[in-house]
Amino acid sequence: MKLRLDRSACQGHGRCYTLAPDLFDCDDDGYAVLNAPEDLAPDQHAAALSAVNNCPEYAITPEED
């Protein structure tokens, strides 16, 4: 699985980096920054999907390999 972040859609709610701090961080203005590896390890899938499902702007999308 891979993650894609549409930074133009992000409004800085912070749910992604709160729910998946190993995969996301925030910039100086509070907007999401994707720190996930290109291919997520299987043990990262649950956190990734939690971030996807909790983003109010649908700015995060999963992509299957």
Domain boundaries, the chain: 2-58
pLDDT along the chain (65 residues), means of 10: 96 97 97 94 97 98 88
Say if pTM beats, i.e. exceeds, 0.85.
yes
User: What's residue 64's pLDDT?
Assistant: 84
Contact (CB, 8 A) for 51 and 45: no
CATH topology of domain 2-58: Alpha-Beta Plaits (3.30.70)
Residue of 60, 53, 54 lying closest to 9 (CA atoms): 60
